[in-house]
Amino acid sequence: MNENESCVVDLTRSLLKDGPSFLSHKVIITGDIAYLRPTISAMMFCAVYIVVGGGLVSLATYLLIVSTKYDLSIFVGGFGIAIGAFGIMLIQPFLRRVSFNRGLGIFDNHIDRDVKLHHIVSFQINNKMIMRKHGLNYACFELNLLTEHGRRINILNHNNEQQLIHDAALLGEFLGVEVKDYRREIIL
Amino acid sequence: MRKIRNIFIGFLVAFSTSAFAEEAGSFKQTIANFSQSVDGFFNDYTGWFVSLIFKSVPIGEVGFPIIVGWLLLAAFIFTLYFGFVQFRRAGMAIDIVKGKYTDPNSKEEGEVSHFQALTTALSGTVGLGNIAGVGVALAIGGPGATFWMILCGLLGMASKFCECTLGVKYRTILPSGAVSGGPMYYLSQGLKEKGLGGLGKVLAVGFAVTCILAALGAGNMFQANQAHAMLSYAFDVPSEYGLITGIVLAALVFSVIVGGMPSIASVTEKIVPWMAALYIGMALIVIVGNIGQVGAAFGAIFAGAFTGAGVAGGFIGALIQGLKRATFSNEAGVGSAAIAHSAVKTKEPITEGLVSLLEPFVDTVVICTMTALVITIAGLNVGPYDGSGLTGVTLTAASFTETAGIFKYLLAIAVVMFAFSTMISWSYYGLKSWTYLFGEGKTPEMVFKALFCVFVIVGATIQFGAVIDFSDAALFAMSIFNIIGLYFLMPVVKKELASFIARVKSGEIKTYEK
């Protein structure tokens, strides 16, 4: 690729298509570290799947022991494993500690390559509308960072607008970078 | 009050650990008592409502429910008024789905592809109405009920076109940024524009109330009930264990509607089209495998439609069952589809109306007919058709199983998925009506959501009976308020259609060949 070649990064576009209709994380700052803490309600809703899945697997095991209904055991167990695995998959992002460490000078979200904090140019607040054909549609908000190399990485993604604005300001102040508001009117 | 108290006592006992610890007989008795109390409650307190909605006029030896005639007449009037739009503009509807009127280079953010739109629309039409509903129709109305279902599906396309166009045209953006639309809004705003604000308000409130009842009945208890009935049939699970089915379903519904977890909703949206494909695939295997009997099956359908042999009330009886179950399945004229379609991303309300008219065709004319053929070919549904034998989802499942034993397991998975996705959809319809009546806010919304989850457990636990009658009545009651409004507002839709066609012809709306 030619080094002189330039590209345009559209900061008004949201990065993720989906998003929850509840507050998923809050920004907590302790000393030189700013990290995202998942809310208890978010963890609980993920736990529902693990509990239901685990319950069904237990029921399947019980059925296997006390009866000869193998087809029912497989059906219930299969459903249980599917739901439980789904719950585990769902809860994993909440267990990952996303942090900005001023001491080490890096941002680590355990998904993308670590970003050096001095490469972060700005934060952007974006809004989007989550549309579902057979379900509620709701407004959702993103806080994304932009690096000097044009990388955009999502930090927060939930529907509590006030909390997100507050957290964006906290992070902006913590890192000394500007927060740009790219919220716009969405015409359906 | 005693009934209410008994229900609560039964509920508490059912959940107590001692009930689980005691022997199965005691548990069975407890659940039977609970079921009986709930059924008795519905019979005592909602029986008048069911009688009112299904008030009949005697035709020959049988009572013809006025509400069935009301829906049929409306569909007929809309068909005439819009100049047989479902036949003359079907090509245009398919072109819209194919993206002929959308610039491929101007795809907006969040916009779904036309293939996605089509699969979503098709998957949304396949549900327990196609599986359990057809089973009920044929068990009581004989094979001839199928003919009347097809007729109702064809006419219902015009009703759906009208209501879905209005749903988009009069939708509103709430302070939260969410889009809200549906009969509540077009009845109040549309009629206000015509100087009939008072009537519009009354109709909108009436619709919202009946929609909430239907969401708890047809969109919730019926689904949970039939999901457990399917599990009972496929795995020989005792009916009293519906409590477990109910708790599992309620927990999952809770996580979606209370928690707002986007992932499970996305997963459901992705799985349901495959379930629909699985169901259609199984039906095709049965039909193709018995291709020699298809002619005879159609013969029985046509003969039964006009003779009504073995059906209480003859052909009128077959007609009533066909029309009732077709409406339950495709929901044309009921107004629920207008709520879902109002959230779509489009600048032209008429395009959504045209796309939506394909749904009753796919749902009733194609898929319900396939189910009816499977049942008729299997030969398990024999006269007299009084519903005393196999009925509902068990008749359909038994008919599939006649061809291959594995079908009952595949059907069980499909039925549970359909029931779950339908409950999610109806929770949305119910919530929209609830917030229309009580306003947006965390507390009123949470009350409805909690109530909805409780009804899932109730629906899975109790037996068929008064509750199902209530589910039916609530769904049909929605059409009373909706159709009155549609009569007043149909000129608005006609104007929209004429304008769209004129702009397509003049080239103002460009076409894009793929």
What is the distance between the alpha carbons of residues B79 and B85, in angstroms, rounded to a whole number? 7
B256: closest chain A residue by CA = A45
Cβ-Cβ pairs closer than 8 A, A with B, add up to 113
Find the length of chain B. 514
pLDDT, averaged across chain A: 86
User: What pLDDT does A169 receive?
Assistant: 94
Within a domain: residue A78?
Answer: no
Contact partners, residue B21, CB within 8 Å, separation at least 6: none
Residue A68 lies in a domain: no
A175 lies in a domain? yes
Q: Name the segment(s) of chain B with CATH classification 1.20.1740.10.
A: 57-506
Other beta carbons less than 10 A from residue A88's beta carbon: 14
Q: Which of residues 62-121 of A touch B (CB under 8 A)?
A: 69, 71-72, 75, 79, 83, 86, 90
Ordered alpha helix ranges (H), B143-261: 145-169, 183-185, 191-193, 197-216, 222-235, 242-257
- Averaged pLDDT for residues B116-137: 72
- Gap between the Cα atoms of B364 and B156, Å rounded: 10
**Mean pLDDT, residues B482-498:** 96
Give the gap in angstroms from C-alpha B176 to the nearest C-alpha of chain A: 7
Q: Percent helix, strand, coil in chain B (nearest 5)?
A: 75, 5, 20
Q: Can you give the pLDDT at residue B445?
A: 87
CA distance A154 to chain B (A): 17
Q: Is A10 exposed, middle or buried (0-12, 13-18, 19+ CB in 10 A)?
A: exposed
Per-residue pLDDT, B500: 93
What pLDDT shows up at residue B13? 46
Residue of A nearest to B247 (CA): A52
- If one compares B38 and B337, the residue with the highest pLDDT of the two is B337
The more confident residue out of B389 and B260 is B389
pLDDT at A12: 82
Look-up of token digits 């769902």: A90
Please tell me the distance from the alpha carbon of residue B28 to that of residue B240, in angstroms, as a whole number.
6
Q: Is A174 on the interface with B (CB under 8 A)?
A: no
Q: For B424, which of A79, A129, A135 is closest by C-beta distance?
A: A135
Q: How far apart are CA A168 and CA B11, in angstroms?
A: 47
Nearest to B235 among A56, A69, A130 (CB): A69
Residues B135, B375 contacting (CB under 8 angstroms): yes
Residue of B nearest to A59 (CA): B244
> Residue B429: which of B474, B393, B466 has the closest Cα?
B474
Of the candidates B236, B237, B265, the beta carbon closest to that of A132 is on: B265
Range B26-42 average pLDDT: 76
Give the residue from B259, B215, B221, B212 showing the smallest Cα distance to B455.
B221
For residue A182, being part of any structural domain is answered with: yes
Q: Is A106 helix (H, G, I), strand (E, B) or coil?
A: strand
What confidence tens digit (pLDDT) does each residue in A82-113 have? 999 988 988 887 888 899 999 999 999 888 88
pLDDT on residue A28: 94
Cβ–Cβ under 8 Å, residues B143 and B297: yes
Residue B316 has pLDDT above 90, yes or no: no
List of chain A residues whose C-beta atoms are within 8 Å of the C-beta of residue B345? 131, 188
Question: A123-132, B33-42, B216-225, B380-389 — which one is most confidently predicted on average?
Answer: B216-225
Is the residue at A112 inside a domain? Answer: yes
Residue B179: its pLDDT value, please? Answer: 72
Note whether A49 and A90 are within 8 A (CB). yes
Instruction: Please tell me the total number of residues recorded for chain A in this structure.
Output: 188
pLDDT at B109: 47
| Residue B88, token pair as written in the block | 């003359």
pLDDT at A188: 55
Does ipTM top 0.85? no
CB contact under 8 A, B109 and A13: yes
CB contact under 8 A, A132 and B343: yes
Cα gap B201→B211, rounded to integer Å: 15
List of chain B residues whose C-beta atoms are within 8 Å of the C-beta of residue A72: 235-237
CATH class of B57-506: mainly alpha
**pLDDT value at position A110?**
83
Give the tens place of pLDDT for each residue, B331-386: 899 998 888 888 777 788 999 899 889 889 988 999 999 999 999 999 998 878 87
Looking at residue A7, what DSSP letter applies?
Answer: -
**A103 or B97: which leads in pLDDT:** A103
B chain contacts of residue A91, beta-carbon cutoff 8 Å: none
The least confident of B8-17, B125-134, B302-311, B371-380 is: B8-17
Domain that holds residue A117: 105-186
Regions of chain A short of the pLDDT cut 70: 1-6, 132-136, 186-188
Q: Is the pLDDT of residue B190 over 90?
A: yes
With contact defined as beta carbons under 8 Å apart, do B233 and B391 qualify?
no
Distance CA B462, CA B474 (A): 18
What integer pLDDT is reported at residue B448 of this predicted model? 93
- Is the CB of residue A54 less than 8 Å away from at least one CB of chain B? no
Q: Inform me whether the pLDDT recorded for B212 exceeds 50.
A: yes
Q: Which of B73-82, B114-123, B318-327 has the highest mean pLDDT?
A: B73-82
Contact B428 A21 (CB under 8 A): no
Partners of residue B124 in chain A, C-beta under 8 Å: 133-134
Q: What is the least distance, in Å, from the CA of B114 to any CA of chain A?
A: 13
Tell me if A134 and B124 make a contact (CB, 8 A cut-off): yes
How far apart CA A60 and CA A5 sit, in angstroms, is 60
Q: Nearest CB to A133: which of B120, B264, B346?
A: B120
Residue of A nearest to B262 (CA): A20
- B contacts of A21 (beta carbons < 8 Å): 260, 262
Assigned token pair, B465? 């009976």
Residue B313 has pLDDT above 90, yes or no: no
pLDDT tens-digit profile of B4-24?
455 445 444 444 444 444 555
Contact assignment for A19 to B254 by CB distance below 8 Å = no
- Name the residue among B359, B319, B316 with its Cα closest to residue B337: B359
User: What percent of chain B is predicted at pLDDT more than 70?
Assistant: 86
CB contact under 8 A, B179 and A137: yes
What's the mean per-residue pLDDT of chain B?
84
The reply to whether A35 touches chain B by the CB within 8 Å rule is no
Closest residue in B to A134 (Cα) is B425
CB contact under 8 A, B109 and A14: yes
Percent of chain B residues topping a pLDDT of 90: 42
Contact status of A131 with chain B (Cβ, < 8 Å): yes
Residue of chain A minimizing CA distance to B249: A52
**What is the number of structural domains in chain A?**
1
Contact of A43 with chain B, judged by CB distance below 8 Å, is answered with no
Tell me, yes or no, whether A127 lies in a domain: yes
Is the CA virtual torsion B314, B318, B321, B324 positive or negative?
A: negative
Distance CA B167, CA B438 (A): 20
For the stretch B249-283, pLDDT in tens is: 998 888 878 766 555 556 666 777 788 888 999 99
CB-based contact A129 B110, cutoff 8 Å: yes
Contact B385, B411 (CB under 8 A): no
Tokens linked to B291: 């291709």
The verdict on residue A25 lying in a domain is: no
Contacts of B177 in chain A (CB under 8 A): 129, 138-139, 186
Q: Tell me which chain B residues have a C-beta less than 8 angstroms from the C-beta of A134.
A: 120, 124, 269, 340, 421, 424-425, 428
**What CA–CA distances, in Å, run from A59 to A75, A84, A163, B276?**
11, 13, 41, 28
Mean pLDDT on B470-478: 89
